[in-house]
Amino acid sequence: MKVCKFGGTSMATVASIRQVQSIIESDPMRKFIIVSAPGKRFSEDTKITDMLYAAYAEKLENGSCRYKIAEIRTRFVELAKELGLSVDMNKYIDEVEKGINESTTADYAASRGEYLSAVIMSEVLGFKMLDAADVIKFKADGTFDSELTNDLVSKYAKESGGIVVPGFYGRMPDKTIKTFTRGGSDFTGAIIARGVGATVYENWTDVNGFMVTDPRLVNNPKHIEVLSYEELRELSYMGASVLHPDSIFPVQIDKIPINIRNTFNPEMPGTLILDNTDGYKIPKVTGIAGRKGNTTISLKKAMMNAEIGFCRKVLSVLERHGMSVEHVPTGIDTMSIVLSDAGLKGVDENKIVDDIRGAVNPDHIEITHSLALIAVVGHGMANSRGVAATLFTALYKAGVNVRMIDQGSSELNIIVGVEEKDYNASIKAIYNAFFD
């Protein structure tokens, strides 16, 4: 049986919901349906989830979410009316309004888009609705309770009819609602797929799947047909944003394939994400992703290599400052630490530098900003020669100065650091070298 998750664009309009309905009804295996909150109907539109966060902000400021909830009410009431449903959406919205006015965190508010979306979808399909709060559980410390959740979800595996589950949230032991991070309905879909033992987890979105690289930087890049879980992790971490990066964790336990599909182009096979891509014809490089906004702290100290515990002392300083480290390229007498600017927000970097000075007394230490990281990812590179040569020749010919190089020991990726001003040219040059 198939578990299918439909994203916000698929749930946004009457036409898209009808399209979702026809996809589900065309295959009786599609029995478990996970939905996002309605997304944007046109580019300047606002996603329901963002409207709900705004409703919570309104209640914090004015004691009630009256104005924002009125806008949300209009969207859901109109949607239900145009779909010809008899369900009383006003009654549901009244309940949500009361809940937001009484709640003490934004999570309850944010989760209601998925909840109301599931009410609508179960009416459209004539499927039962299963509230995610009843099966998706968190521990008291706020972490996801995967085993309890799996037990609860697995009870529904043998249900004869179809079931709709709202994405994005679950329940804490104290009964309050908690959401996953943004885009978390993808994760809900993966949890349900594992729990009910799906043959495939279909993730229906508004693109044909993953592309080799960012289409904003390279015109019409090639489509990725098949990808491994590991490759997906690398690419999503570096910025490819088709699927929530945590989505593979539940499904990889039972090696359930994920199939990214396009609701608006259902004939396309999409991208298949598997535990292992052996037996598939895979290129040397599967994907190229990257992100700007990184900072490097570079240290130099004579005889650093002989000083036992040097790296540990430096990294302990970062740990004390609560910093997560991206990369640590080292030389005999040099060590660099690459940090993301997002993680550095609100942190005093001069204080970090002072503390490192105090810990290891380097001969030289400096901070450089504006580093872009680019990951060239693919299992195919482990068995082929010349990948690094092709990559660095392409960057050299494009006139790009490479500031950092890091290759994981599994030969799944090569990461290069370039100046942000060279980022776009680098991506283009690397893509052309491998795919043109």
- Binding site residues, ligand ASP, CB under 6 A: 8, 36-37, 47, 49, 113, 167-168, 182-186
Nearer to ligand ASP, 116 or 172 (CB): 116
Q: How far is the CB of 33 from ligand ASP (least distance, A)?
A: 14
Closest Cα partner for 190 from 153, 227, 139?
Answer: 153
For ligand ASP, the nearest residue by Cβ is: 185
Q: How far is the CB of 5 from ligand ASP (least distance, A)?
A: 8
Q: How far is the CB of 113 from ligand ASP (least distance, A)?
A: 6
Nearer to ligand ASP, 122 or 185 (CB): 185
Q: Cβ(365)–Cβ(354) under 8 Å?
A: no
3-state secondary structure of 297: strand
Give dist(CA 327, CA 312) in Å, integer: 14
Residues facing 402 on adjacent strands: 418
**Element spanning 407, H or E:** strand 402-407
What values do phi and psi take at 272, rounded to 5? -105, 130
Give dist(CA 49, CA 170) in Å, integer: 16
Nearer to ligand ASP, 32 or 168 (CB): 168
Give dist(CA 373, CA 157) in Å, integer: 43
Amino acid in position 237: Y
3-state secondary structure of 74: helix
Nearer to ligand ASP, 260 or 323 (CB): 260
Residue 245 in tokens: 């990066």
Q: How far is the CB of 9 from ligand ASP (least distance, A)?
A: 10
Nearer to ligand ASP, 188 or 296 (CB): 188
Q: How far is the CB of 40 from ligand ASP (least distance, A)?
A: 10
What values do phi and psi take at 343, rounded to 5? -70, -25
Residue 351 in tokens: 């204080």
Q: How far is the CB of 206 from ligand ASP (least distance, A)?
A: 12
Give dist(CA 353, CA 318) in Å, integer: 10
Nearer to ligand ASP, 56 or 434 (CB): 56
Nearer to ligand ASP, 179 or 286 (CB): 179
Q: How far is the CB of 37 from ligand ASP (least distance, A)?
A: 4
